[in-house]
Amino acid sequence: MSTIKTNAVYIDGTLVLDDPVNLPQHARVEVVIRKKFSEFVKKFGEPEAKEDIDQILVKNRRRIRDA
């Protein structure tokens, strides 16, 4: 099974692909839809971290070292 990856825009009920794809007429495909994270940030703003990532990394390194 081959994979073709491209982006698309949803316009009036139709997905319009950014790039042409080489498929035969009436080919059946599987579509996975994911919104881009940048659109999430535009809509809701930057998410706040509950913990400092540097502290988490230090803790994990200590666990690995001391194991």
Residue 11 phi, psi (nearest 5): -130, 120
pLDDT tens-digit series, residues 30-59: 988 887 777 777 777 777 777 787 888 888
> 7 Cβ partners below 8 Å, 6+ apart?
17, 18, 19
- Domain boundaries along the sequence of the chain: 8-66
Its pTM surpasses 0.75: no
Task: Region of 18 please: left (phi>0), alpha (psi -120 to 50) or beta.
Answer: alpha
5-33, pLDDT tens digit by residue? Answer: 889 999 999 999 999 999 999 999 998 88
